[in-house]
Chains A and B, each alone.
Chain A
Amino acid sequence: MKGIRAVVIGASAGGVTALFKVLGGLPADMAVSVLCLLHLPHNRESHLADVLQRRLGRPVCEARDKQPVQPGAIYVAGPGYHLSVERDLTLSLSQEPPRHFSRPSIDYLFMSAADAYGESLLGILLTGANEDGAEGLAYIKNSGGRTIVQDPRDAQVALMPEAALALHRPDHILPLSGIEQLLATLEPSAC
């Protein structure tokens, strides 16, 4: 895949396993930044970053307010705050009301990332029992970016991918293995 600078991935129910699988496809030496948002059942402290880091054997950090988005880095949204990407490619947190009962909201992350990255953004929506992310993914497409929806037949819970497909036609509809393979083709870093 050429011309992609950032990848945003959203998932809800069944998302931990799906995220492991998909992120496993990322090239070791990649130029893109990856931002993951998984709905979590509680507003508690999350250990998702630690868990992913151990499993993937590469650094994963919880996104922090005003943190610059670095090429080649993987971030996960922490609980209780919406995560956005600003135009200057820094991250920001906010506490507006939940969207689709979710804070952080996938829609908010996707839309802000689309405003920041435009056509160099790839959006991926995976399994989930919630409509969050559908509008955000369509917005990425409308902003010139590329989109992938997990094949609902492959998803542990089909509602989230189905909601996305009801709103727009993505570039790819793929099972997790297909998404994993596609991510493996992301450009390596130049140096």
Chain B
Amino acid sequence: MSSERNTDIEIRLLIEAIYLKYSYDFRNYSGASIKRRILHALRQFDCHTVSALQERVLHDPSMFMQLLQYLTIPVSEMFRDPGHFLALRQEVVPLLHTWPSIKVWIAGCSTGEEVYSMAILLREEGLLERTIIYATDINPHSLEKAKQGIYSMQSMREYAENYRLAGGRRDFAEYYTAAYGNAIMDSTLREQVTFADHSLATDSVFSETQLVSCRNVLIYFDKALQDRALGLFHESLCHRGFLVLGSKESIDFSAYGQRFEPWVRPERIYRKL
């Protein structure tokens, strides 16, 4: 029992050390999940205590980069929750057409699956050419992968089904070139995309946007950090701009619950009031 208490103390110290040294702020991440990820990393790095891990992370920046890969969760798919993208097409795109130019912010874009899904959808709806997409994440390795746009063919086959269910109008294979078991995304899809390092925990708003997509990111934040992130989205969005979240996320328990209205509630699509 007391060794468990020690672990909790050490985890707090590690997170504080990471913040002080590297300015990555995990202090308001949901505790249960971050604890599991740190303990998992501990085994991978063959450290016996979190304190031992902390020493290595403090004195070796490359070690921190490795740990960061465990602290962030790169779980993503293209057209994840197809019903969500179908709702975007049917209930949001017609309104996006009313703006002369569109800025979309994909916050916590991870390895890029959400970015390419959005770019494909906007292209098929004739909007991509007048759109700028900002794709941001805190993990530089994930951003690099997102820029490369290379995914395994095995996952692409699953995404093809998602794409179809999401109201896709073409053959999904038109959007990539297959080679050696991998698929390389059509590079013209990212001509309108700016990838950037941005933290919802420490950075501020950088642009006015018409649509913010932040899916399966807020679940890793505690309520205070969730409110901070929603505050950034609220500030960034133009009047009546759209906010879209992951299928199990909601703003119901947030301080910003009253500042957005549900647009397609089951698909977690909201509109700024």
Contacts and interface: CB of A to CB of B under 8 A. Distances in A.
A108 B36 contact: yes
B49 to A, nearest CB: 18
Nearest to A139: B4
B170 to A, nearest CB: 26
Interface string A58-72: 000000111110000
B223 interface: yes
B31 A86 contact: yes
A82 interface: yes
A129 B254 CA distance: 39
A33 interface: no
Given A66-B223, A86-B222, A94 B1 contact: no
A93 B1 contact: no
A54 interface: no
A94 B4 contact: no
A112 B32 contact: yes
A142 B35 CA distance: 17
Interface residues of A, number: 28
A82 B4 contact: no
B31 A94 contact: no
A164 to B, nearest CB: 19
Interface string B188-230: 0000000000000000000000000000101110110010000
Contact of A86 (B1, B32, B216): B32
Contact of B73 (A66, A86, A95, A115): A95
A78 interface: yes
Contacts of A94: 30, 32-33, 73, 219-220
Contacts, number: 70
Contacts of A111: 32, 36
Interface in B136-172: none
B108 to A, nearest CB: 12
A53 interface: no
B200 to A, nearest CB: 16
A142 B4 contact: yes
Interface in B168-182: none
A84 B250 contact: no
A93 B248 contact: yes
Q: How large is the interface on B (under 10, 10 to 19, 20 to 34, 35 or more residues)?
A: 20 to 34
B250 to A, nearest CB: 7
Interface in A69-115: 78, 80-82, 84-88, 90, 92-97, 108, 111-112, 115
Nearest to A114: B4
Contacts of A78: 248
B30 A92 contact: yes
A143 interface: yes
Contacts of B35: 115
A87 B31 contact: yes
A144 interface: yes
Contact of A84 (B4, B30, B223, B252): B30
Contacts of A80: 248
A115 B223 CA distance: 19
B41 to A, nearest CB: 12
A65 B248 contact: yes
Interface string B22-39: 000000001111011100
Contacts of B99: none
Q: Which of B32, B248, B254 has the most CB of A within 10 A?
A: B32
A84 B33 contact: yes
6 contacts: A82-B33, A93-B219, A93-B248, A108-B32, A115-B35, A143-B4
Interface of A: 64-68, 78, 80-82, 84-88, 90, 92-97, 108, 111-112, 115, 142-144
Given A82-B33, A86-B30, 13 more contacts: A66-B253, A68-B253, A86-B31, A92-B32, A92-B33, A93-B219, A93-B248, A96-B75, A97-B75, A115-B4, A115-B8, A115-B31, A144-B1
